[in-house]
Amino acid sequence: MTMKEQALTRTDFTFDGQTSVYHGKVRDVYTIDDQYLVMVVTDRISAFDVILPEGIPYKGQVLNRIAVKFLDATADIVPNWKISSPHPNVTIGRKAEPYMVEMVVRGYLTGHAWREYRAGKRELCGVPLPEGMREHQRFDEPVITPTTKAVSGHDEDISAEEIIRQGLVPEDEYRELERLSLELFRRGTEMAAEKGLILVDTKYEFGKVDGRIVLIDEIHTPDSSRYFYADGYEERFRKGEPQRQLSKEFVREWLISQGFQGKEGQQVPPMPAAFVRQVSDRYIELYEKITGEPFERRPLGNLQEEIREAVSTELKRLR
């Protein structure tokens, strides 16, 4: 069986009580009884807002298991949507009414924030940025740079004041989202430091269930977060050298080397089997580094049937 055949790139389940299904870039989300969500994390991989043609075996399990671990490790800070994870690719949870903003927390001037700063901006999402900063420099305190939550297309930067002015989130609830985001980032930073990592930036999504704020979606995964290796950070920063990153940045770098950046008219390059294996191995390395646990490579022969059975059994229990 080839790597391509083993990857879980598409699901089309029909579960009892299913009222809708949403196929995202990476996740297939099934709504049950308008009360529960079955989130299947596939092996699809996206870059530059484009879904790449090949799936990455084990990637979905890596992302789902990391998210489950961090949801469980932060439930004392804020309740979350998760009920159970009946299969390594699946989380089942409560359907929430999502806030239409994403809370991006940045501990360092990196990525999008650095590009804006380099272009001369000294304010990002209403947050003033001091003069004289350098790429990958640590902020004195983490900053929150929220974005709108686009149904399609790109998310857009927005300030707290604008969120409140537009009525996207009531002011008292928004201030609570800020507080919770900083608490979650603090916990994520501590857990990363224990593994020799720096949590550089991440995003959190929240919703409401029965009038209560809950954390939804994934948390602290390499798809939603950026990590640096702590070892060597200071020396690399002092010398102005690139930091060693623990993220899917290496996939973007490979695509750029093949002449693809998601621009109009560009064709996605074919991904050789050796590169697909390399990406799969890298995701497993990410899992083991972030969690400190060995990754069990389960046989990938009949994932669809495994997932169908596991989810159906769990839904019977819930309903």
> Would you say residue 232 lies in a domain?
yes
What does pLDDT average to over the chain?
A: 94
Minimum mean pLDDT range among 65-69, 148-152, 297-301: 148-152
> Would you say residue 261 lies in a domain?
no
Domain that holds residue 120: 98-246
> Would you say residue 251 lies in a domain?
no
| pLDDT for residue 151 | 63
Cα of first residue to Cα of last residue in the chain, in angstroms, is: 37
Minimum mean pLDDT range among 49-58, 80-89, 165-174, 198-207: 49-58
CB atoms within 10 A of CB 296: 10
| pLDDT for residue 215 | 98
Please indicate, yes or no, whether residues 314 and 222 belong to a single structural domain of this protein: no
CB atoms within 10 A of CB 44: 23
pLDDT at 317 over 50: yes
pLDDT bin (cut points 50, 70, 90) of residue 3 is: very low
Q: Mean pLDDT over residues 117-135, rounded?
A: 97
> Would you say residue 258 lies in a domain?
no
> Would you say residue 110 lies in a domain?
yes
Q: Rounded to whole angstroms, how far apart are CA atoms 221 and 68?
A: 10
Please indicate, yes or no, whether residues 79 and 217 belong to a single structural domain of this protein: no
200, 226, 246 — which closes off a domain? 246
Residue scoring higher pLDDT (282 or 300) = 282
Going from the C-alpha of 289 to that of each of 91, 92, 230, 292, the distances in angstroms are 22, 25, 12, 5
| pLDDT for residue 153 | 58
> Would you say residue 262 lies in a domain?
no
Please indicate, yes or no, whether residues 68 and 142 belong to a single structural domain of this protein: no
**Torsion angle of the four alpha carbons 154, 155, 159, 164, in this order, in degrees rounded to the nearest 10:** 120
| pLDDT for residue 154 | 67
111, with CB counted inside 10 A (0-12, 13-18, 19+), is: middle
| pLDDT for residue 152 | 59
Residue 72 tokens, joined: 């469980």
pLDDT at 5 over 60: no
Give the domain CATH number at 56.
3.30.200.20
| pLDDT for residue 6 | 83
Please indicate, yes or no, whether residues 85 and 147 belong to a single structural domain of this protein: no
Please indicate, yes or no, whether residues 190 and 53 belong to a single structural domain of this protein: no
Q: How many domains does the chain have?
A: 2
Minimum mean pLDDT range among 88-102, 143-157, 228-242: 143-157
pLDDT at 268 over 70: yes
Please indicate, yes or no, whether residues 164 and 196 belong to a single structural domain of this protein: yes
pLDDT bin (cut points 50, 70, 90) of residue 142 is: very high
Instruction: Give the pLDDT confidence of 9-58 residue by residue, as tens digits.
Output: 999 999 999 999 999 999 999 999 999 999 999 999 998 889 999 999 99
